[in-house]
Each structure stands twice: as structure tokens, then as C-alpha cells.
Amino acid sequence: MNSQPNPSNLNDLIFDNRFIRELPADEETINNRRQVFGACYSRVKPTPVVNPQRVAYSREVAELLDLTADACEADDFTQVFSGNSLTAGMESYATCYGGHQFGNWAGQLGDGRAINLGEIVNQKGERWALQLKGAGPTPYSRTADGLAVLRSSVREFLCSEAMYHLGVPTTRALSLVLTGETVIRDMFYDGNPKAEPGAIVCRVAPSFTRFGSFQILTARGDVALLKKLADYTICTDFPHLGEPSPDVYITWFTEVCRRTAEMIVHWQRVGFVHGVMNTDNMSILGLTIDYGPYGWLENFDLNWTPNTTDVEQRRYRFGNQPQIAYWNLGQLANAIYPLIEQVEPLQEALAVYKLTFEQNWQTMMAGKLGLNAFDTATDGDLCTELLELLALIETDMTLFYRQLAKIDISVEPVDYEAIFNLLSVAYYVPEQITPEYKSRLTVWLERYLKRLKIDGTSNDLRRQRMNAVNPKYVLRNYLAQLAIDKADQGDFSMVNELLELLRHPYNEQPDQEEFAAKRPDWARQRAGCSMLSCSS
């Protein structure tokens, strides 16, 4: 283990770069758009920018990399993470992968606007890959420029860290840097392009390997390289499984299924909608990856998608995320089939996804409702009726569960009007609360309170449990947009304020109550607050 003190500058980072040491590179070294065969990556350098400016950095991610605050606030940090310079040990490259986009095979995709700087090994022996998003074109950029704009970069930076603190498996974000240049984007693909501030996010993860990394190789019939990549992935990211073999490939795929199910349950728990669950946006480690047109469910709507590109099909809507993850795993199973050549073990692994999701979903709902454990005899119907009630009128999901925790079950007789008043802060349209709705809610509350009394848990313990899994603060779409609006004017205060707020999403923060309020009416249809596109 490395025993040297925290790096005082970036040149002290220990780069291992195992990915490019052990896997084949693109023989072509010119950075032109092309199909790349027989390789897992292409060497490419970031495009220098004119006037980089650090907007924010995550101190927790810096600590993962053994970086001090002084190191992060130095000018060379800004230069490196804007792509202007590489430190000792960095070897930059972009990876090759394919994928299904909106259910259709899209062929080669790859890191079109992401450039990896390499992998470090920290003092704990942990491996962390560093990747710049928006650092210029690569051979995989197709017709795009490889750049990113401030609005999407603010959203990715904040959401990566918000998700981590919520307890959701995710890639991380080290830094957000302005480039000092403008980027032309047509935000809604409606023929109205405009110049926007350019920005770059440094993303951090143990690995950025995707389902599509394997799919592209199978689609091209390159089984030798498929095996090489699978063996590398198992040895590097799943070493506990043992030496690669057909049996280990099955165990590995089963673990990927299990991790993916666990991730999706967390998404459903906190009301996160990814928005573009293509197979190239699925991490082999079961991490949330690629924060594009994501959104936070505010009024509970199983059919809601934040992605304008998906507004008609709604393939990636909130309620469909568990099914899409299963479908995507099926495509991964097809991709690794040549290594196993047996259908039944892969089907059994996919069944593990369903079982894991169902069990974890039940545990998750029991936690959200403050129950000791999920009772299949009664709690399935209890949860089904609740979800129907939440969707029946515009109900703020985050606020509802936090308010539900405040019910005092020791009060006899039950004052249902007081409970309605307690829950009313979660409703967007008071006129929707009809006598019929209140009657139905009363019936559910009667069942719920009876169920709580069977558990016999004290108010305090129940509230503690509920508040530990039901966040008070999430990165509401309108909050991110307000931070973007200020940042567009050169004021980065709200970016950093939200970063600090979201470090403690389950805690009461009395001086930050405004950030826990439901979406204001002005944000209902505003661009960036309700719907987003894949444009960045």
C-alpha cells in the first residue's frame, strides 16, 4: 500500500492505466471519425481551451483520489481538468462500444465526447478512472463536436454527487470547469441553435465499461476480443469471482444482473428518471452512468419521462425503468453468449434480476412506509393502493413520504382531517382533492395505521427509519435550472450551494427549507424544468 502523504499536486497521483496496458489499441492514431475494429480504445488527446475557469469541485471525490483542497484549488488542477495539459502518468484515450438506442441497434457509438485520462490507484488500493466529458472530438464523435455546454455539465456534476449522497450506485464527478469558449447547440432540435458557454466535467468511476462495450464485439463477430475484454473486466473489476472460465462468466453475469436490479430499486426509491436507458448507457458495474436528459419525479406519474426525444414512445418513463433494465440485460446476455454457448444459465441469471428486484423493492417500500418488514400477505395490496393514490392526483412524491412520517399513531381517536392537512403540502392542485379522493385515502390510511400498530414501533423509531430512506432534498429540476441560470451570468454560488445542500439529503436543514418545497407553477412547462433533450 502506498504510504506517502496526500499529493500536494497532481503529479503525485499514481497512474496504473491497466485498461490500455492490457487491451488492444486502435492502430490508427489520427483523430478522425471512423469505424474502429479490433480495438477497445483509440488514443486521443483533449482539445485545449482558451480560458478555463474552475466552477466547483467535490471534496469527497478529491479525497478518493488522495487530493487535498490546496491541490484542487491550484491553477494546474484547472488546466488539467479542462484538458489543457496532462500530468505525469496520464495517457488519454476514448473507448469503443456500441448499443441499442431506444430499442434499435445503433452499431458503433463509443466515447464521442468523453476522453479518459487514465486510472489511478489511491492509497487504499482502490482503482479510479478519470474521464473528461466535453473535452473535444474523438474517432467516435460521428458528426458531433465532442463538446459539452454549461447547462448539461452543471446537471451532470450536481446529480452525480447528489445520487451518491442519496445512497444510489453512481459514477462520481470531481470537477466542473468552464472552457471560456462557446458551443453551438439546438437544445430542442427545433431549428433554433444558439451559442452557449462550454464546460467540462471530470467524471470518476472504478470503470466506465458499458453493456455496449461487449455488444459491439459480438455484433462484429470478434469473439477473441470479446473474451479478452470479459476476462479483463472480471480480473480487474470482479476479482473475487476467480479466474475467468465459462462457469465464472455465468457467475459474473449473474452479479451484473443483481447489481443492476439493486440500482434500479434505488432509482425508484428516490424518484429518479434516467431518461435515456440505452444499452450504451448501462454500466457493467451497476452504476448510474451518463446523466443526460434525466429528471426527478415531482408529481408522481409512472408515465413521466424527462426526455423530449422519448415523449411519444415513453420507452424510458419512470414506471418502465425496471422492465427496460431487464431488456438491456437480455441484450448483454446475447452479447456474452459466445463465451458460454448455453442459454439456460443466462436465463437463470436474468431470473435473478427479477427476484432481486422484487425482494429489494419490497424491502424498499417497507422502509419508505416505516414497516419492520414487508408482509407479502398484506403489504402488496397496501403498496399498490398507495401508488394508485399518488398517481390519481398531482402528488409530490418526495414531500408525501416525508409528511407521512410525521403522523402520530398514538393519537386516539384518529384525526383524519389533521392528517389530510399534514399531507396537503404535497398536493399541487387542491381542486383535485375531491370528496371521493379523500374517502379513498381515508380507507388507505385506516389500513396503514392498523398495519403500523401491528408492528408496534414507536413514532420516533418509525420516523427515523422513514427519514433515512425518504430524502427531504433532491435535485429538483427547477433548482438545477436556477443554478444554471445564475451560472450563465457568471454567478456560481448556487451550484456550490446545492452541492453543499445535497451532501445531506436526509437531514433537516432548517435554514434551507426553501429547497425542500414542491415545484413552483412557473416551472411546470419551462424548458429545463419539465423536459430536456439529448442535446448538450
Q: What is the set of active-site residues?
A: 280
CA atoms within 13 A on the CB side of 315: 16
CA 485 vs CA 5, 145, 321, 406: distances in Å: 40, 24, 30, 35
CA angle 393, 397, 403 (to 5 degrees): 100
Interatomic CA distance for residues 146 and 45, integer angstroms: 12
Residue 316's nearest CA partner among 266, 261, 281, 273 is 273
CA atoms within 13 A on the CB side of 73: 4
- Please list the residues that pair with 204 across neighbouring strands: 130, 172
| Angle formed by the axes of helices 246-270 and 343-369, nearest 10° | 30
CB 296 within 8 A of CB 518: no
All cell numbers assigned to 24: 488492444
CB contact set of 409 (below 8 Å; sequence gap of 6+)? 449, 452, 453, 459, 462
Interatomic CA distance for residues 107 and 202, integer angstroms: 27
CB 39 within 8 A of CB 96: yes
Interatomic CA distance for residues 527 and 477, integer angstroms: 10
In the numeric block, the cell 444499452 is attached to 279
Residue type, 492: F
CB 92 within 8 A of CB 46: yes
Phi, psi of 269 (to 5 degrees): -65, -45
The number of helix segments (H) and strand segments (E) in the chain equals 17, 11
Interatomic CA distance for residues 228 and 453, integer angstroms: 56
Q: Is the peptide bond before 338 cis (omega within 30 degrees of 0)?
A: no
